[in-house]
């Protein structure tokens, strides 16, 4: 609603900067209008390509007229309430009562009166497990009342108080980052102890705090080494190039493990920068040195194997090198598996998925269940899932993902294959479960492996892409926009990132289509037509969408170009599977022939791909109706509508209804309406099962055992279903179930 209001006020689609500024108004239309008026009067809004935006939202303050109005409301509150609110304002728009009590050095019960007065005055609202300011501007007005010179000291005081009650590391760090002068001994000690957790939870904040801490450390400070090592690691994870810092850390390191890790990352940085010869030289002797810890000697040797793998520009050369490496690797499980994984890559690019499956199964057998190779084992299982999905063996892919979950738990690994599970659930049409998996990834943060090569940007692009696409298809545009905005900092630069970029491209194209800009949607999807953009990208799975958009735009040249790319993909498949089916679908759309499209739908039905089945049935219904086969069109449309309803794919359902209505076809009587976003009827099947177990008094660990799910996944499911039921109490779930049973 706010985005639409901005568009009406400005006559253009609001960009991310304007949406961020408008977010400060928390949906209040008067606040939004006042803010737009101030920006327009100050000539701060620029319009380009139909989009209105500001250069940097951080440069713009809340209008003084609004702050004055807010101040008048706050003046009516007692001083005690205002003091509580000022400290709450330091903590953010949302805050926990226990946190405010900690910084005030009072008991939470002592704050009951001031908080009740603030709620009664419409300054605070209940935000579930926390309290929140009704409007961000109320918080801003209180914050601005604190003299600028005092804020640093108060933020620093709040940080130590929060740390003292065991508050989450990120919450403490947010206070420290708001206090630029704070780098005293307590801060240095806290950061030395908590840098790893902070890097996982908030890497950008970690960088800022580590840089400040190092600037305050003397050369002989014993904390300098761990802080510098931590900074190199987090910068590496953020895809920066901290080569100079890595060399400094290597020269400074007294701890053998720190020295080995910095050498390892330095080599990886050199390789990433294209100087593979220097990378090999950096690790060569150290991989055999007896004074290097054994675990790092092994890791160095494994990283060298990655360097020597080379690229996949010449598949024949890569295959020859891998076959030779396999022969020389006898007795070394890692090197054997690595060579076989290279062969898997070669055959995957060739689209010989049957041979790729044989390669990866051999690699998995070579690794076994060795703890030191568990990370590689997980990577190989991820490769296996990719291949099984290409062969349309989704049941086998599910079983492989279950195996990966067991390995993650058995070896105590910090992260598993949650993003891969989410992709699998997307294609199966189990979207609520996909979102739960993505919730657990957001909580865990990206993980660096000992290869030093896994790229967190690729995982982030895929995570936000899947989440944005689900939100978009469910017509939850604000959520989709939030994920698209969050992904903007991850520009796809590396091969791994480009190969993980397709979900995000399609989500961006969908957003453009929803704005009524079919041409922009086609332009966004153009990289999918370029086979050299990312060799492993499964472009065929998106090409029917591109062709539909192109045909609707009567751009048959682009439609035929997309078909040619899809035909090329299909021709590579030694066993006709996904690309073959997608090519038939594209051809039917271009030739206005429903038969190949409906044949593709049956392929998806057999494979268990409910989403693609629904989309193919929709297109088939349109083509049948155009050909005058109205009864068949009605049947295909009704099935597509039922599938979209089960998925809560409200945008797809509306689009299908609009397309078919123009051809005289409407939804059949008795079909269910789209599943709502909130309330009991919004719960998915897995959420209903978990709700029943919660109502029965079962704990999350018990439910995890019952359903054979990771505990964190169950925790995320419970949090999501509580949100849908708009309650924070597990006990309320039993009440809901009782009411349903009683027919209320």
Report the DSSP beta bridge partners of residue 53. Answer: 46
Average pLDDT over residues 651-659: 94
For 277, counting Cβ atoms within 10 Å of its Cβ (0-12 exposed, 13-18 middle, 19+ buried), the class is exposed
Instruction: Choose the weakest-confidence range: 3-17, 55-69, 249-263, 359-373.
Output: 55-69
pLDDT class of 68 with cuts at 50, 70, 90: low
Q: For position 553, what pLDDT does the model report?
A: 92
Instruction: Choose the weakest-confidence range: 281-295, 339-353, 547-561.
Output: 281-295
**% residues pLDDT > 90 (the chain):** 38
Say whether pLDDT at 296 is over 90. no
pLDDT class of 220 with cuts at 50, 70, 90: very high
- Where is 655: in which H helix or E strand? helix 650-661
262 or 44: which leads in pLDDT:
262
Say whether pLDDT at 276 is over 90. no
Say whether pLDDT at 475 is over 60. yes
pTM, two decimal places:
0.61
Greatest mean pLDDT among 325-334, 349-358, 671-680 lies in: 349-358
H/E/C letters for each residue in 253-288?
A: CCCHHHHHHHHHHHHHHHHHCCCHHHHHHHHHHHHC
Q: For position 287, what pLDDT does the model report?
A: 64
Say whether pLDDT at 552 is over 90. yes
Q: For position 493, what pLDDT does the model report?
A: 47
Q: For position 292, what pLDDT does the model report?
A: 86
Average pLDDT over residues 523-551: 86
110 or 202: which leads in pLDDT:
110
Say whether pLDDT at 121 is over 60. yes
Q: For position 513, what pLDDT does the model report?
A: 93
Average pLDDT over residues 347-356: 90
Instruction: Choose the weakest-confidence range: 180-189, 212-221, 262-271, 617-626.
Output: 180-189
Q: List Cα–Cα distances, 164 to 105, 111, 169, 359, in angstroms.
A: 11, 19, 11, 53
pLDDT class of 5 with cuts at 50, 70, 90: low
678 or 401: which leads in pLDDT:
401
Average pLDDT over residues 82-95: 90
The residue count for the chain = 744
Say whether pLDDT at 459 is over 70. no
Q: Kindly report the average pLDDT of the chain as a whole number.
A: 83
Instruction: Choose the weakest-confidence range: 350-354, 379-383, 491-495, 593-597.
Output: 491-495
The SS3 call for residue 591 is: helix
Q: For position 418, what pLDDT does the model report?
A: 83
For 388, counting Cβ atoms within 10 Å of its Cβ (0-12 exposed, 13-18 middle, 19+ buried), the class is buried
Q: For position 458, what pLDDT does the model report?
A: 60
- CB atoms closer than 10 angstroms to residue 315: 14
Q: Is residue 367 a contact partner of residue 401, using CB atoms and an 8 Å limit?
A: no
Average pLDDT over residues 651-662: 93
253 or 2: which leads in pLDDT:
253
Q: List Cα–Cα distances, 35 to 31, 48, 145, 227, 376, in angstroms.
A: 6, 20, 20, 42, 52
Q: Quick one: angle between helices 610-626 and 650-661, nearest 10?
A: 10
Q: For position 709, what pLDDT does the model report?
A: 66
Instruction: Choose the weakest-confidence range: 145-154, 306-315, 563-572, 634-643.
Output: 306-315
Longest dimension (CA), the chain: 84
200 or 530: which leads in pLDDT:
530
712 or 541: which leads in pLDDT:
541
Q: For position 113, what pLDDT does the model report?
A: 93
Say whether pLDDT at 172 is over 90. yes
Q: For position 651, what pLDDT does the model report?
A: 93
Say whether pLDDT at 159 is over 90. yes
Instruction: Choose the weakest-confidence range: 128-132, 155-159, 353-357, 662-666.
Output: 128-132
Q: For position 162, what pLDDT does the model report?
A: 94
Say whether pLDDT at 306 is over 60. yes
Show Cβ contacts of residue 672 under 8 Å, excluding neighbours closer than 6 positions: 642, 645
Say whether pLDDT at 269 is over 50. yes
Show Cβ contacts of residue 267 under 8 Å, excluding neighbours closer than 6 positions: 279, 280, 282, 283, 300, 303, 307, 452
Q: For position 595, what pLDDT does the model report?
A: 94
Say whether pLDDT at 469 is over 80. yes
Average pLDDT over residues 133-152: 82
109 or 699: which leads in pLDDT:
109
DSSP line for 607-673: HT-HHHHHHHHHHHHHHHHHTT-HHHHHHHHHHHHHHHHHHT-HHHHHHHHHHHHTTT--PPTTPPP
Say whether pLDDT at 566 is over 90. yes
Say whether pLDDT at 616 is over 90. yes
Q: For position 452, what pLDDT does the model report?
A: 31
Say whether pLDDT at 446 is over 90. no
H/E/C letters for each residue in 179-219?
A: CCCCCCHHHHHHHHHHHHHHHHHCHHHHHHHHHHHHHHCCC
Q: Supply φ then ψ for residue 131, to 5 degrees.
A: -105, 160
Show Cβ contacts of residue 404 under 8 Å, excluding neighbours closer than 6 positions: 378, 381, 382, 385, 416, 417, 420
**CA–CA distance, 417 with 374 (Å, rounded to integer):** 13
365 or 704: which leads in pLDDT:
365
Q: Supply φ then ψ for residue 239, to 5 degrees.
A: 65, 20
Show Cβ contacts of residue 165 under 8 Å, excluding neighbours closer than 6 positions: 98, 99, 102
Q: For position 388, what pLDDT does the model report?
A: 94
- CB atoms closer than 10 angstroms to residue 49: 9
Report the DSSP beta bridge partners of residue 130. Answer: 127
Q: For position 455, what pLDDT does the model report?
A: 46
**CA–CA distance, 650 with 730 (Å, rounded to integer):** 29
pLDDT class of 443 with cuts at 50, 70, 90: very low
Instruction: Choose the weakest-confidence range: 270-284, 412-426, 485-499.
Output: 485-499
pLDDT class of 449 with cuts at 50, 70, 90: very low
């Amino acid at each position: 609603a706010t985005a639409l209001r901005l568009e009406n006020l400005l006559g253009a689609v609001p960009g991310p900067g304007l949406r961020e500024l408008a977010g400060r108004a928390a949906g209040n239309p008067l606040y939004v209008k006042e803010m737009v008026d101030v920006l327009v009067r100050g000539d701060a809004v620029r319009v380009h390509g139909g989009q209105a935006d500001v250069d940097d939202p951080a440069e713009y303050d809340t209008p003084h007229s609004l702050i004055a109005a807010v101040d008048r409301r706050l003046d009516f509150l007692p001083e005690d309430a205002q003091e509580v609110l000022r400290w709450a304002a330091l903590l953010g728009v949302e805050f926990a009562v226990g946190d405010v009590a900690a910084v005030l050095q009072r008991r939470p019960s002592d704050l009951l009166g001031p908080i009740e007065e603030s709620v009664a005055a419409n300054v605070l609202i209940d935000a579930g497990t926390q309290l929140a300011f009704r409007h961000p501007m109320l918080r801003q007005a209180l914050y601005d009342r604190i003299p600028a010179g005092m804020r640093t000291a108060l933020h620093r005081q709040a940080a130590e108080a929060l740390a003292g009650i065991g508050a989450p590391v990120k919450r403490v760090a947010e206070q420290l980052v708001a206090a630029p002068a704070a780098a005293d001994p307590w801060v240095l000690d806290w950061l030395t102890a908590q840098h790893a957790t902070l890097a996982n939870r908030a890497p950008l904040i970690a960088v800022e705090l580590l840089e400040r801490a190092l600037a305050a450390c003397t050369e002989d400070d014993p904390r300098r080494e761990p802080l510098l090592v931590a900074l190199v690691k987090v910068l590496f994870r953020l895809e920066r190039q901290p080569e100079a810092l890595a060399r400094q850390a290597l020269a400074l390191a007294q701890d053998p493990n720190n020295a080995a890790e910095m050498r390892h990352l330095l080599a990886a940085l050199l390789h990433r920068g294209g100087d593979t010869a220097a990378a090999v030289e950096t690790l060569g002797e150290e991989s055999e040195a007896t004074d290097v810890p054994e675990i790092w000697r092994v890791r160095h040797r494994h990283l060298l194997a990655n360097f020597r793998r080379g690229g996949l520009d010449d598949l024949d050369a890569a295959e020859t090198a891998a076959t030779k490496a396999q022969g020389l690797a006898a007795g070394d499980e890692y090197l054997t598996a690595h060579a076989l994984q290279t062969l898997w890559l070669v055959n995957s690019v060739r689209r010989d998925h049957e041979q790729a499956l044989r390669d990866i199964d051999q690699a998995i057998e070579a690794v076994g269940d060795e703890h030191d190779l568990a990370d590689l084992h997980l990577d190989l299982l991820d490769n296996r899932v990719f291949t099984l999905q290409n062969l349309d063996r989704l049941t086998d892919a599910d079983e492989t993902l279950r195996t990966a979950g067991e390995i993650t738990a058995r070896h105590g690994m910090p992260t598993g294959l949650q993003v891969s599970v989410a992709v699998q659930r997307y294609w199966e049409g189990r979207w609520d479960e996909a979102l739960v998996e993505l919730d657990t990834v957001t909580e865990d943060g990206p993980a660096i492996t000992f290869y030093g090569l896994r790229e967190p940007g690729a995982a982030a692009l895929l995570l936000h892409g899947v989440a944005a696409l689900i939100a978009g298809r469910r017509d939850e545009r604000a959520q989709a926009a939030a994920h698209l905005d969050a992904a903007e900092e991850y520009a796809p630069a590396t091969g791994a990132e480009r190969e993980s970029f397709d979900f995000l491209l399609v989500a961006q194209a969908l957003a453009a289509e929803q704005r009524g800009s079919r041409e922009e949607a086609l332009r966004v999807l153009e990289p999918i037509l370029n086979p050299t953009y990312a060799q492993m990208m499964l472009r065929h799975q998106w090409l029917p969408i591109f062709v539909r958009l192109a045909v609707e735009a009567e751009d048959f040249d682009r439609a035929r170009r997309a078909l040619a790319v899809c035909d090329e993909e299909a021709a590579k498949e030694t066993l006709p599977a996904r690309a073959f089916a997608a090519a038939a679908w594209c051809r039917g759309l271009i030739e206005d022939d429903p038969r190949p499209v409906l044949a593709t739908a049956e392929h998806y039905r057999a494979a268990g791909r409910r989403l693609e089945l629904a989309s193919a049935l929709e297109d088939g219904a349109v083509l049948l109706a155009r050909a005058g086969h109205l009864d068949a069109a009605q049947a295909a449309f009704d099935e597509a509508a039922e599938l979209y309803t089960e998925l809560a794919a409200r945008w797809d359902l509306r689009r299908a209804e609009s397309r078919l209505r123009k051809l005289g076809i409407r939804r059949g009587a008795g079909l269910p309406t789209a599943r709502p976003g909130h309330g009991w009827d919004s719960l998915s099947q897995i959420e209903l099962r978990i709700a029943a177990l919660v109502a029965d008094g079962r704990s999350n660990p018990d439910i995890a055992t019952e359903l054979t799910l990771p505990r964190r996944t169950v925790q995320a499911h419970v949090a999501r279903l509580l949100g849908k039921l708009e309650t924070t109490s597990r006990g309320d779930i039993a009440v809901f179930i009782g009411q349903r049973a009683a027919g209320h």
